[in-house]
Amino acid sequence: MQICLPPRTTASLVLLLNLVCSFEGARAVYKCYNCMSRYYGLTWQFAGYSNIYYEPTAFNDNCENPTRRGADVVPHTYCDDHSNCISMVEDLKIGTGARGYIRGCWSNIFRHGFNRTGLAGHLRQHTMCKTFNSSDLSAGGSKGGKLFDSTVRVCSCSGNMCNGNAFDTAAAFRNSNPINYFAIISFIVTYLIHFTSILRH
């Protein structure tokens, strides 16, 4: 059976598709905290971090908790490649309990990029927290030698400045930005109900 739609209905369907695409495009560019703990800056060349990471906007002690009241302003960057914001905490090999904090976009942390296979690849657009061995994170693999034998806790989230939170899954989900997708689904369902009622008449 062939269904002929009135021109107005066809135009409405085209508008709906354009709206969905614009919603998806709007989510693409997030503003994320971009920093590393001061320790990385102090050992940037000596320890070889410059061969592994892109230099952040700032090496800042407040990278541990950018949203802490009274903390100096931690700079941000824009993720122009449709990727999520990332926050990382590394167990450093310099003393008991020593940690290094890294925040940025999925695309601007590692010089060789994140490993695109497995869970590391899922960090690009999925809201999640996971513990990795650092050698499994970077597409550069073992490049950098001694640096790639540490444990790293990584959280990925979608939303402006969402990567300034504690390293737990609940925080990542709580501060992600699901409202766009909810709005899209609600709009589509409402439109389909309305469209179905028109066809019946």
- pLDDT digits 0-9 by tens, 95-150: 667 899 999 999 999 998 999 888 899 999 999 999 999 888 988 765 544 455 78
On whether both 195 and 152 belong to a single domain, the answer is: no
Range of the domain at 188: 7-25+181-200
On whether both 159 and 194 belong to a single domain, the answer is: no
d(CA 105, CA 178): 18
On whether both 136 and 162 belong to a single domain, the answer is: yes
Domain membership flag for residue 1: no
Give the count of domains, the chain: 2
- Kindly give the pairing relationship between strand 85-91 and strand 151-157: antiparallel
Return phi, psi of residue 33, to 5°: -60, 140
Q: Which residues of the chain have pLDDT under 50?
A: 1, 10-11, 13-15, 17-26, 144-146, 168-183
On whether both 99 and 43 belong to a single domain, the answer is: yes
Domain membership flag for residue 156: yes
On whether both 128 and 35 belong to a single domain, the answer is: yes
HSE-up (13 A, CA, CB side) for residue 122? 10
pLDDT at 28: 56
pLDDT at 93: 78
Predicted TM-score of the model (pTM): 0.70
